[in-house]
Amino acid sequence: MSPETVEITCIACPVGCDVSIEVEGGEIQSIEGFTCPRGKEYAKEEYRNPTRILPTTARVAGGVLPRVPVKSAEPMPKPELEAAMREIAAVEVQAPVELGDVIVENVCDTDVDIVATRDLPAADEGPKAAD
């Protein structure tokens, strides 16, 4: 079996190094192209277990807006993102929604919650009047 080269753009710092990982038989043989120690660790983790924060929206019933922005509370496995989007799309929450409310608990059995990223009042609450 010949070695495979995997190219990754590191996002551990603002530099954005192009990192090359040489892999043989599923094992990392070498990592090149990083300029800081975080880059090497990022590349290893991105190869072995890529994760992402999932930002999207969820439907809201009775709110001043029909959708509320949400995100995964922590990075989740990249292969689960599409299934998580389907699970979130099937949910409709009742207004009012508060920043940090859990919209979907343990999405796709990943132990990651989907949380609201802003307040969304109910339509009948309207904006608060200044006294």
pLDDT in tens, 41-57: 999 999 999 999 999 99
122 found inside a domain: no
Cβ distance 70 to 55 under 8 Å?
yes
Residue 98 maps to a domain: yes
In total, how many domains does the chain have? 2
Q: What pLDDT was estimated at residue 2?
A: 80
Per-residue model confidence (pLDDT) at position 97 = 98
pLDDT of 127 above 80: no
- Establish if 125 belongs to a structural domain: no
Are 60 and 88 contained in the same domain? yes
**62/107 same-domain check:** yes
Domain-located, residue 90: yes
12 backbone dihedrals φ, ψ, rounded to 5°: -70, -25
pLDDT value of position 130 = 53
Mean pLDDT of the region 60-69: 97
| 131 in any annotated domain | no
Beta strands in the chain (DSSP E): 4-9, 18-24, 27-32, 51-52, 55-61, 67-72, 76-77, 92-94, 102-104, 114-116
Neighbours of 39 (CB within 10 A): 21
Which CATH number do you get for residue 105? 3.10.530.10
